[in-house]
Structure 1
Amino acid sequence: MRRLVALLLLALAGPLAAQGNVPPAPYAYTQLADPAQEAAARELMHTLRCLQCQSQSIADSDAPIAGDMRHQVRARIAAGESPDEVRDWLISRYGDYISYEPQVSASTWPLFVVPAIILVLAVLLLLARVGRRRASGEGG
């Protein structure tokens, strides 16, 4: 029974160990030959969030998925796509969360509207309190 468990563990450990040995995508760490395209790619990469790190852009992250995303950005820009087209493709693939510059859409509008409503309510509440204090101070 122990041999069977040991063989099973060895069989499962192989694929897990192999994942760490996958070479990075070609454009993960290689710049584009055209300086204008590389500048556009780098600018875009700084606006995209790494899905694994979540607090770093794909330009700053060393996570494998960030390398794959840098490769995709560079490859698509080298193929002639605009940075906006690449961003739209990545958002359609990974969701709105990937972008540090979210767009107003059916799912994100509350993120833009609710803080403004709270601010307006806070100002109205403050004005009402100040008005009551003035009214009670004038009458007394």
Structure 2
Amino acid sequence: MAAVAAKPHVLVACALLLLAVGCQASPFWPLEIGYYHDKCPQAEAVVKGVMEQAISQNPGNGAAMIRMLFHDCFVEGCDASVLLDPTPFSPTPEKLSPPNDPTLRGFELIDAIKDALEAACPGVVSCADIVACAARAAARILSSGKVNFQMP
């Protein structure tokens, strides 16, 4: 039972990590809260909807998204490089590195969110932002709304 009681603390710690990572703006591309407000107003609702369904099927899906953001952002910033598949020019991408392969999961959720966002507003929302927003939505859902913050 002690592990269950510790979950909100872990979620809060993860959320604070997400916020800290998300607030480090690039000098070349400054981050801004509400970036998609006019560009794709339904973006956050789309991400939240896919994540709510995925977490209702398996709460581990939320943890997978939080972990994916951590692994994506850990080395050189949040750039969605963890999503890249192998190519002849890059046969061992970050996705297949030892800390990620074979345990990192949730790629199908990112694909589902991307498909839904492409239907709503084609070519607007970046994969890096999808990973970040999915993790934030997961933290909010898993904490029953207690972890809730704006993310640039």
Q: Same fold (TM over 0.5)?
A: no
Q: In which range does the TM-score fall when normalised by the shorter chain?
A: 0.3 to 0.5
TM value normalised by structure 1: 0.33
Give the TM-score, by structure 2 length.
0.31
- Considering Cα pairs closer than 8 Å and 6+ residues apart, tell me whether 1 or 2 has the greater RCO: 2
Q: Higher helix share goes to which structure? A: 1
Which has the larger Rg? 1
